[in-house]
Structure 1
Amino acid sequence: MAYLSGAGSADFADLKARARVTDGNLSVHLRKLEDAGYVRVEKKFQNRKPLTIAHLSGKGREAWISYLDRMRALLGGA
């Protein structure tokens, strides 16, 4: 979510590298975020290879901002 909040969207390989997680771990996380409506997952082919792109949704952006606000409040407004 942190990366997507700045990038807006990213492909699976980029997210995997930035999060330093396994394929399976990232797949599970993306599925949960998609089920919650926080990301939209687009699957297509590029040069005959599968390409998965995650897009941050409006609901996801709102949830991320709300999360950051709660963390700031817990840290005393830091």
Structure 2
Amino acid sequence: MSNAELKKKLRFELLKPKRKLREERLKSELTTSYVASLIGLERRQYEKKEAGEFPFHDYEMKILADKFGKTVTELFY
């Protein structure tokens, strides 16, 4: 398998909607705009990440995990 094929395969496997994150956000009654502002993004950028269209950076995952009182693993994997 070439590097490009491997990257495509991993991207497909790992870029999935972040359901646990969305559940926690809704449970806390937080808007996508508010959560986006926590990690320095525009609302639309955040929504695309939550939908699994783009990956979260490590520091974004850490900030959000801390906000919701969860580990990165609990919230994102």
TM-score by length of 1: 0.29
Give the structure with the larger helix fraction. 2
